Copies of this chain bind each other. A is one copy, B any other.
Amino acid sequence: MSLKLKRYFPILQWLPLYGKETLISDLLAALIVTIMLIPQSLAYAMLAGMPPEVGLYASIAPLFLYTIFGTSRSLAIGPVAVISLMTAAAAGNHALEGSPEYITVVLILTLMSGLMLTLMGLVRLGFLANFLSHPVISGFITASGLIIAASQARHLLGLEAEGLNVIMVLYGLIARIPEAHLLTLCIGSGTLVFLYANRRWGRSLLSLIGLNPYTADIFSKAAPVLAVAVTTLVTWHWQLDQAGVKVVGDIPAGLPPFTLPAFIPGLWRDLFLAALLISIVGFVESVSLGQTLAAKQRQRIDPDQELIALGTANLSSAFSGGMPVSGGFARSIVNYDVGAATPAAGTFTAIGILVAALFLTPLIAFLPVATLGATIIVAVLSLIDLPAIKHTFVYSKSDFAAMLATILATLIQGIEIGIMAGVGLSLLLYLYRTSRPHYAVIGRLPNSEHFRNAERHEVETDDKIALLRIDESLYFANSRYLEDIVMGLVISQPKLNHLVLTCQAVNLIDASALDSLRTINSRLKDSGVQMHLAEVKGPVMDRLRKTDFLDEMSGVVYMSTYDAWKVLHERAEEAEDKPEAELKPEAPR
């Protein structure tokens, strides 16, 4: 029972061992992450179409919950760019941004996503995430990065923008650049240039002026806070908001409110798919990040428990005026770098954000929206991974096709269609591939018991014996193709007496393939060719033994291809000496 408790409440594993040293590490990490998280959470709330304070609320309760249920020491939970974008896309279909209905929809999405994640964790469906291939994820993230950057461009220009997809939005904005609000553009592009320069050269510059590389790194990561402070001060001092610079405005100070997401059956049904995609994408992103960080410390995370942790985090977000959350990339890396030792760092971060929500909100009333837009744009530029596209193209055309389909469908048709197109296409391409498997006629490598493709290697063969290696499990999608391959081979080798199917790569023979083997066996028998099997794997053999196929088969099952070759080749040579001899089939072993 205690073991089970510890599995579902990982906090019980590390809390009893908690000491002063860990406390200091965790406090330091929390301080830095808090500073990073404040502008991020405001910005991502804006990206999701929500009031800025919602970003803060979503960075409090979920972090407490993750401390209790999470298994990663370094993962920092909160609003993240891609999930915020997906939230905005889904909610925008059902309500007008800024309306009370919009907030209702986002709370429902958060609740549903929390329920789905928790449920998937309890019934151990973590493996579902595996069906998102790396090229599809990478393509989706790249496309999302582009969409997010485009969606923020309007804040930098001080314009409104509309359009069916990102290409049309960008086109519309570029056409209207002359109408841009000049002061806003100055603040936005100034921040953009500063943040971008900091990202490229900040660390080296800070090292040059004498900071050690570690401190330089931390300071450089806190640059967005500096940008927020400076632009807020400037705007406040010269009252730029009066001159038309859009600012965040009054944010209510206080504890996160208690919110009860409405139960509206029709709306829940309509939001189902969006909530599911938000859940899966958030989970995949979070768990890959968690695994990468855990591997660096020789630790492991439990994907099913991570589902529960993310699920409860989202549930708490739904009841405390928040929005969907997940593990954030940049802040988790920082959390890891500065040495967070336990998930307690998350709780300390939550306390930091709580303090900010209680006392700091009046200070950011004059924060220009353009500053937040620039923060987001620089953050998502790192999501766009062009080298990955190139590598995938070189390595595998079908992976590249899935990636390209994901990118294009996401950009043109939107997020949900994009990710489903990617998953669908990658599955179809895999199925298509297995439906026309690679196969090889193999022969013996001289002086060995090893057999390889006769077209690639110098091998020994015998025109009375065909050793055929099928490089795929035999199942319904390729069973008819198998019949074609075998009959084609038999027609091409008129002297053939024995066909050996080498099954080293056959991991499954399903009912359709079994029917095909029966058909092949009886056709071969009619043509005077015996059919044998070799290297049939344990689980496959167990199944075949349940049928009468092994009795029906004209030949026998050999342990190895070499065994088959030895017996049949010798027999063929004997027959050559006494061509009149009757060959009796040997007894099955």
Binding site for B on A (CB under 8 A): 127, 129-136, 295, 298, 300, 391-392, 394-396, 398-399, 426-427, 430-431, 433-438, 440, 445, 448-450, 452-453, 456, 471-473, 475-481, 487, 504-508, 510-512, 514-515, 519, 523, 526-527, 537-539, 543, 546-547, 559-560, 562
- For A471, the chain B residues whose CB sits under 8 A away are 507, 537, 539
A295 touches B519 (CB 8 A): yes
B396 touches A450 (CB 8 A): no
Q: How far, in whole Å, are A430 and B508 apart by their CA atoms in the complex?
A: 10
Which B residue sits closest to A134, measured CB to CB?
B512
A131 touches B476 (CB 8 A): yes
Contact of A127 among B475, B481, B510, B537 (CB under 8 A): B481
- For A129, the chain B residues whose CB sits under 8 A away are 480
B526 touches A298 (CB 8 A): yes
Determine chain A's interface SS by DSSP, over half rule: helix
Extra contacts besides A133-B475, A298-B527, A430-B475 (16): CB < 8 Å: A130-B476, A130-B481, A133-B476, A133-B477, A134-B512, A300-B487, A395-B511, A395-B514, A396-B511, A426-B476, A433-B508, A434-B473, A438-B507, A440-B538, A450-B560, A453-B538
How many whole Å from A532's CB to the nearest CB in chain B?
Answer: 16
Q: How far, in whole Å, are A245 and B560 apart by their CA atoms in the complex?
A: 70
How many whole Å from A172's CB to the nearest CB in chain B?
Answer: 32
How many whole Å from A138's CB to the nearest CB in chain B?
Answer: 9
B449 touches A480 (CB 8 A): no
A134 touches B511 (CB 8 A): yes
Q: How far, in whole Å, are A547 and B393 apart by their CA atoms in the complex?
A: 11
Contact of A562 among B449, B472, B478, B537 (CB under 8 A): B449
Given A538-B456, A539-B438: A476 and B134 interface contact (C-beta under 8 Å): yes
Q: How far, in whole Å, are A513 and B473 apart by their CA atoms in the complex?
A: 18
How many whole Å from A218's CB to the nearest CB in chain B?
Answer: 26
- For A559, the chain B residues whose CB sits under 8 A away are 445, 450, 452
Which B residue sits closest to A549, measured CB to CB?
B395
- For A543, the chain B residues whose CB sits under 8 A away are 395-396
- For A514, the chain B residues whose CB sits under 8 A away are 395
- For A505, the chain B residues whose CB sits under 8 A away are 504-507, 537
B511 touches A130 (CB 8 A): no
Q: How far, in whole Å, are A392 and B547 apart by their CA atoms in the complex?
A: 10
- For A519, the chain B residues whose CB sits under 8 A away are 295
Q: How far, in whole Å, are A399 and B547 apart by their CA atoms in the complex?
A: 15
How many whole Å from A330's CB to the nearest CB in chain B?
Answer: 21
B477 touches A511 (CB 8 A): no
How many whole Å from A51's CB to the nearest CB in chain B?
Answer: 38
How many whole Å from A365's CB to the nearest CB in chain B?
Answer: 46
B477 touches A131 (CB 8 A): yes
A131 touches B511 (CB 8 A): no
Q: How far, in whole Å, are A435 and B131 apart by their CA atoms in the complex?
A: 8
- For A391, the chain B residues whose CB sits under 8 A away are 511, 547
Q: How far, in whole Å, are A449 and B562 apart by their CA atoms in the complex?
A: 9
- For A450, the chain B residues whose CB sits under 8 A away are 449, 559-560, 562
| Residue with the greatest number of chain B CB neighbours at <10 A, chosen from A437, A481, A504 | A504
Q: How far, in whole Å, are A434 and B538 apart by their CA atoms in the complex?
A: 17
A395 touches B546 (CB 8 A): yes
How many whole Å from A495's CB to the nearest CB in chain B?
Answer: 18
CB-based closest 10 A-B pairs: A133-B476, A449-B449, A134-B512, A399-B511, A471-B507, A450-B560, A504-B504, A505-B505, A133-B512, A456-B538
- For A523, the chain B residues whose CB sits under 8 A away are 295
Contact of A512 among B135, B508, B526, B539 (CB under 8 A): B135
How many whole Å from A231's CB to the nearest CB in chain B?
Answer: 40
- For A477, the chain B residues whose CB sits under 8 A away are 130-131, 133, 430
How many whole Å from A405's CB to the nearest CB in chain B?
Answer: 14
Which B residue sits closest to A516, measured CB to CB?
B134
Q: How far, in whole Å, are A506 and B452 apart by their CA atoms in the complex?
A: 14
Q: How far, in whole Å, are A430 and B434 apart by their CA atoms in the complex?
A: 11
Q: How far, in whole Å, are A450 and B547 apart by their CA atoms in the complex?
A: 27
How many whole Å from A121's CB to the nearest CB in chain B?
Answer: 16
A478 touches B130 (CB 8 A): yes
A135 touches B511 (CB 8 A): yes
A-B CB contact pairs (8 Å), 16 listed: A131-B435, A131-B476, A134-B476, A136-B476, A295-B519, A295-B523, A392-B511, A395-B543, A396-B543, A438-B537, A438-B539, A449-B562, A453-B537, A471-B539, A472-B473, A505-B506
- For A547, the chain B residues whose CB sits under 8 A away are 391, 394-395
| Residue with the greatest number of chain B CB neighbours at <10 A, chosen from A134, A300, A452, A479 | A134
- For A131, the chain B residues whose CB sits under 8 A away are 431, 435, 476-477
Given A135-B512, A511-B135, A512-B135: A479 and B130 interface contact (C-beta under 8 Å): yes
Which B residue sits closest to A433, measured CB to CB?
B508
Q: How far, in whole Å, are A502 and B150 apart by their CA atoms in the complex?
A: 48
Q: How far, in whole Å, are A332 and B129 apart by their CA atoms in the complex?
A: 49
How many whole Å from A137's CB to the nearest CB in chain B?
Answer: 9
How many whole Å from A60's CB to the nearest CB in chain B?
Answer: 32
